[in-house]
Copies of this chain bind each other. A is one copy, B any other.
């Protein structure tokens, strides 16, 4: 069983003219087809040497002096500026550090403080759980009402964006369905209601063009270990729109967010701009790996990334529709490009063991409760032909019922 010849010919033609084709060599790629770069991006070849230098030279020889001489101290802002270029934010408006959960907590409280007297914090029911958990905690701390909304229902958002709105927080791309929300339109609607917006860019930064300034977004947070390839648990980032630079009051008032950290003043005075999103001493090793990972991105035009991402998901969707629907597989992806992130899900009642059987054959995707196989498409490292190879393996696993072997049903801690 194989996909129609015209799809294969199209994939090969797309690979021949792919402007990003050479970037693949800048990464370490194990055999098989890795479609989980939306969970953990592959290793950029620049990272091991950089880490070796940071550890043996900067830490081992430079010791405490490296906070100045190796620029450790300025890493959160320098790396933040590099991320800023990927998300349509100006220099000085993005800080790298902490986890996405911590960045979200910090920006949500800061956002709510800009709207005293208003009483709702609106969050996406389809958000990654941490977003809902953190929104719930912030609502409790500030005495706000948490309102959950399903933004895929056309009128749901409109109903809750009213005069009570303090803060709306949404994922730019839904982590399960891959739906891409219209950042500018949603932000405008929240602003019209008098609220402020905090966007979660976990599944869009590095995957597609993001224009925080163009959309007038107030705050944003995001993840760097997915499409930005920063490594396992690499630092997250936070964005504050320049209009809020001097008034935002994040609650995580660690010493590095102070205007003059080394004066060790007894009173907290926040640093200017987004620098106030710095909290404690940054994890230099993880931050340096991220910094090295971003080198590749300096050579990338995000429009090329987006075009390739859509070509990859189109190919995948068409091949799946042709080959997999007979096995009861349902393709879950927005048909319109304007509403599509860089992932495709397949729904199947036995999604869990099917994913495990696939992984064993070198096609790595992940499982999301209750019945989704999720596949991410990373344009810097994938070839169009890889996508069709993956669908062929998937068709074979389903046709042969190889996934029914009992070992594939065992749940691991992380799925």
Contacts and interface: CB of A to CB of B under 8 A. Distances in A.
Interface of A: 28, 30, 34, 36, 39-40, 42-43, 47-48, 51-52, 55-56, 58-61, 63-68, 72-74, 98-102, 105, 109, 125, 128-130, 132-134, 136-137, 140-142, 148, 223, 225, 231-236, 251-256, 258, 262-266, 268, 279-287, 289, 359, 364, 366, 368-369, 412-415
Q: How many identical chains are in the complex?
A: 2
Given A129-B255, A141-B251, A368-B264, A55 B64 contact: no
Instruction: Tell me which of A99, A128, A366 has the highest count of chain B C-beta atoms within 10 A of its own C-beta.
Output: A99
Nearest to A365: B64
A263 B59 CA distance: 39
B414 A364 contact: no
Given A98-B99, A252-B137, A285 B68 contact: no
A366 B264 contact: no
B254 A101 contact: yes
Given A132-B266, A413-B262, A100 B61 contact: no
A108 B249 CA distance: 19
Given A253-B134, A280-B102, A262 B231 contact: no
B133 A268 contact: yes
B56 A36 contact: no
7 contacts: A28-B56, A34-B63, A40-B59, A40-B63, A128-B264, A129-B265, A130-B280
Contacts of A58: 232
Given A99-B279, A252-B137, A64 B36 contact: yes
Contacts of A263: 369
A39 B369 CA distance: 45
Contacts of A60: 28, 30, 42-43, 48
Contact of A266 (B129, B256, B364, B412): B129
Contacts of A136: 253, 268
Contacts of A55: 43, 47-48, 51, 231, 289
A101 B234 contact: no
A254 B285 contact: no
A225 B63 CA distance: 11
A63 B43 CA distance: 8
